[in-house]
């Protein structure tokens, strides 16, 4: 079955020319479904079959300086939007705000990719992961049809360092999220790269990957989307 592979370019690259070059080097036809999430300022000038945003605001329009509206994303044919990434939670995004964003995105038929995770060290993660995920999901998903949501489980300690939990751990968490919250799809994220991805993708309840660093290296990303 096709898995869903989402590229999170974060604040990269720094020019539209490089962004277009990167997008052009990603295979259009891959074994899996592929979504590119470039910086929002580049979205209108990136050509790729499936596009996602890295964030959006919960209001449609008005006096909200610096925000991006779901209607604006819709007008660019954006189909997915990351919400609640740990790098946004670190600068103050709350679960209540995340809940507003999920509601708005669903209203506009943009598929939200809700990022959850915890633990700045593997030890901390082991102790409290399920409790923390529950506390995030209980608020994030309040009043929401979770079957329409994609959840990305990203242990914070695994992001950007090249190490991951075992695929068995990620599978256990994916099963927990699906069985307790009726979530449609669960992805794994956090150093999902050309080395670590095959084992994650082989797990039954892991429906795909959210890839940061390795999505910027076309040669690696093209392998990941074809595993
Ligand atoms: P990484 O980032 O693949 O570079 O660890 C993933 C993410 O933060 O979404």
Any residues with CB less than 8 A from the CB of 227 and at least 6 apart, and which? Answer: 31, 32, 197, 198, 201
CA of 94 relative to ligand 1 center, distance in Å:
20
**For 122-159, what is each residue's pLDDT tens digit?**
766 666 788 889 999 999 999 999 999 999 999 988 98
* pLDDT tens by residue, 3-13: 999 999 999 99
Residue whose CA is at the smallest distance from ligand 1 atom 1: 212
Please answer whether residues 74 and 86 qualify as being in contact, where contact means their C-beta atoms are separated by less than 8 angstroms. no
13 upstream amide cis, omega within 30 of 0? yes
Domain boundaries, position 125: 4-224
Compute the mean pLDDT over every residue in the chain, rounded to the nearest whole number.
Answer: 95
| CA distance linking residue 71 with residue 181, whole number of Å | 28
CA dihedral 164→165→171→176, nearest 10 degrees, is -120
Q: Is the CB of 154 under 6 A from ligand 1?
A: yes
Task: Kindly list the catalytic residues.
Answer: 85, 154
CB 174 near ligand 1, within 6 Å: no
Q: Quick one: which atom of ligand 1 is closest to the CA of 191?
A: 5
Alpha-carbon span 21 to 138, nearest angstrom: 40
Q: Are 191 and 117 in contact (CB under 8 A)?
A: no
**Mind listing the pLDDT tens digit for each residue in 165-211?**
999 999 999 999 999 999 999 999 999 999 999 999 999 999 999 99
Number of structural domains found in the chain: 1
Which CATH number fits the domain that encloses residue 95? 3.20.20.70
Q: Residue 15 to residues 44, 70, 83, 131: CA-CA distances in angstroms?
A: 14, 24, 24, 41
125 touches 157 (CB < 8 A): yes
């Amino acid at each position: 079955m096709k898995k869903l592979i989402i590229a999170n370019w974060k604040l990269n690259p720094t020019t539209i020319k490089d962004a277009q070059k990167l997008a052009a080097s990603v295979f259009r036809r891959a074994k899996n479904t592929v979504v590119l999430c470039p910086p929002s300022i580049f979205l209108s000038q990136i050509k790729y079959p499936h596009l996602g945003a890295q964030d959006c605001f919960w209001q449609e329009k008005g006096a909200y300086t610096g925000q991006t509206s779901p209607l604006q994303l819709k007008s660019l044919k954006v189909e997915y939007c990351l919400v609640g990434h740990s790098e946004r939670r670190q600068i103050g995004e709350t679960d209540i705000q995340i809940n507003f964003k999920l509601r708005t995105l669903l209203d506009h038929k943009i598929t939200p990719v809700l990022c959850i995770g915890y633990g700045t060290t593997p030890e901390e993660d082991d102790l409290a992961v399920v409790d923390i995920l529950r506390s995030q999901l209980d608020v994030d998903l309040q009043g929401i049809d979770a079957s329409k949501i994609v959840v990305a489980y990203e242990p914070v300690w695994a992001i950007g360092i090249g190490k991951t939990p075992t695929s068995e751990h990620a599978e256990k968490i994916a099963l927990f999220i699906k069985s307790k919250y009726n979530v449609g799809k669960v992805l794994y994220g956090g150093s999902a790269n050309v080395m670590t991805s095959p084992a994650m993708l082989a797990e039954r309840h892991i429906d795909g990957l959210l890839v940061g660093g390795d999505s910027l290296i076309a040669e690696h990303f093209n392998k990941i989307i074809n595993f």
